[in-house]
Amino acid sequence: MNETNDKFKKIQDFNQKNRTDIEKKKKRIFDILQIGQKEDLPSRLFDWLITIVIIVNITVLFLYTFDYFDPYRSIISIVENITLMVFLAEYILRIWTAEYLYPDLPPAKARLRFLFSFDGIVDLFTILPVFFLSGFAVLRMLRVVRILHLFRINANYDSFNVITNVLWEKKNQLLSSLFIIIILMMASSLCMYNVEHAFQPEVFDNAFAGIWWSLSTIFTVGYGDIYPITYTGRFLAIIITILGVCVVAIPTGIISAGFVEQYTRMQRSLNEDPNSRTIASIAIDENCSFTGWTVRQVEEAYMINIATIVRDGNVMLPSGDTRIQLDDTVLYQTTTLI
């Protein structure tokens, strides 16, 4: 009986050890798939590998459009298939390790969430056409979206992050300015149609032609295919052009103001005393409980507001999806330390 118990215990220990080893390997694969830190050589090498594969894949898409390369079409196709196999392997591994990407969800729900996330959908449409929809040029072009991953890998990713933060924070003002532009386009197109239709019925044949003219005029493109010939029409065109320049400048001012606000906020966060009542900092090490979490997950779990992250000597303004990494220094707003 004791021998049976010992054997059973050994089997249990062996299975437990195997599960632990598999979990360690899975976690290591997840770390490699993520954006690597400078001291993590395998992860950095994988980042560069994916970068090269993305560039090669995009280059292949361009080569397909040249008749000159028709004799080499088979070689180009082989190169494309190799890059797609790399994308497929990465996609499968990301599904397998999704539980570490969303640690607050069960493994099945974490994988499902990744599948329906933006990255998951883009990855799917990147590899799907080669198997089922090779004739759909539009879906094949979705591979171009993968070039956005380069922003995550290059050293200036935070600059892109600041741009997205500004656009998101100023979305209401930008939508309002876009609404004003649409109203100006509709009004100018109807005015020009009523003035010019009698003299140019083949050019201003409907209100849509007026919209095309107003769009090219307001945005100062001026293709020259549609233009007014009457004095009234030209006078209206002058007024509309001036208004168009003023209106189109509004979004530029909004975005510029957003950049100034972000920069000022970042400087204020750096200049704040870490021991003050409202600003605190924490250095992320191996013992930190939320290493690998997203900013949004940390803020919701600890009821804090993360202001900035210092990473590899660079100051970044994180978005909600930015992940906390080892050796980061997190500055957050709270009344008590974590």
Tell me, yes or no, if the two domains 169-263 and 274-333 fold the same way. Answer: no
What's the average model confidence in pLDDT over 180-205? Answer: 84
pLDDT at 269: 59
Q: Write out pLDDT tens, residues 287-321.
A: 777 777 888 788 877 778 887 788 776 677 776 77
The predicted pLDDT at position 279 comes to 64
- What's the topology of domain 274-333? Alpha-Beta Plaits (3.30.70)
What confidence category does residue 134 fall into, taking pLDDT thresholds of 50, 70 and 90? Answer: low
- Please give the class, per CATH, of domain 169-263: mainly alpha
Question: What's at 14, amino acid-wise?
Answer: F
| pLDDT score of 138 more than 70 | no
Higher pLDDT, 9 or 193: 193
How far are the Cα atoms of 121, 229, 331 from residue 125, in angstroms, in the given order?
A: 6, 49, 38
Residue 21 CA to residue 26 CA, distance in Å, equals: 9
> Which range is least confidently modeled, 23-32, 40-49, 138-147?
138-147
Mean pLDDT of the region 178-201: 85
What is the distance between the alpha carbons of residues 332 and 325, in angstroms, rounded to a whole number? 15
Locate the domains of the chain by residue range. 2-154, 169-263, 274-333
User: With bands split at pLDDT 50, 70 and 90, how would you rate the model's confidence at 80?
Assistant: confident
Provide the pLDDT for residue 277.
45
Query: Residues with Cβ < 8 Å from 16, sequence gap 6 or more?
Result: none
CA 8 to chain CA centroid, Å, is 51
pLDDT at 260: 80
Number of Cβ within 10 Å of residue 306's Cβ equals: 21
What does the pLDDT read at residue 147? 62
> HSE of 161 in the Cβ direction (CA atoms, 13 Å)?
19
| pLDDT reading at 181 higher than 80 | yes
Query: For the chain, what percent of residues have pLDDT higher than 90?
Result: 0
Confidence of residue 156 (pLDDT cuts 50, 70, 90): very low
* pLDDT, averaged across the chain: 76
> What is the rounded distance in angstroms from the CA atom of residue 333 to the CA atom of residue 310?
15
* Percent of the chain scoring above 70 in pLDDT: 73
Pairing between β-strand 314-316 and β-strand 279-283 as defined by DSSP bridges: unpaired
pTM of structure: 0.57
